[in-house]
Amino acid sequence: MTTLSGYIDRVQEAIGTRVARWRGWSAIGQRVIVQFGESGDPALFGKRVRGWIRGTAVDGDRPTNTLIELADPLDYRGHYVHLKIMTVVTRPRYRWHGVNRLLIASATVFIIDARTFDEAIGPRVIGIGVLSVE
């Protein structure tokens, strides 16, 4: 059963997809903001980082994942690790929070420590947050 919020998410994704096709819009090169909501590193809670989308990955017939180059290194202190992260991959937390949604709304995403889409497989999630175009 789909809830009302599920229908609203689906409508936003559909409108974003139509507008993207009509305008010939591409997420690649867009300046974005990622705001952390949850993380294994308490210092990242509420932190906003800026960057540029350098690539997108398609799941089925629509782009869902983004490869983001951060403007400044992200200092992450997780379980037994201390990393300076310059690129992250985002993956939608909810089904209808793909890339084209960014034209009209933000998307809730998993934030993954990875330099490429291939590296984004496995338990490398460093947080959950909100992705939006600046």
Confidence of residue 1 (pLDDT cuts 50, 70, 90): very low
pLDDT, tens digit, 9 for 90 and up, residues 46-98: 999 999 999 999 888 888 999 999 999 999 987 778 889 999 999 999 888 89
Can you tell me the distance from the alpha carbon of 106 to that of 104, in angstroms, rounded to the nearest whole number?
7
Confidence of residue 2 (pLDDT cuts 50, 70, 90): very low
Measure CA 23 to chain center: 22
Q: What are phi and psi of 67, to 5 degrees?
A: -105, 120
Whether the CB-CB separation of 59 and 82 falls below 8 Å is answered with no
Q: Is 109 left (phi over 0), alpha (psi -120 to 50) or beta?
A: beta
pLDDT, tens digit, 9 for 90 and up, residues 31-51: 999 999 999 899 999 999 999
pLDDT at position 80, please? 78
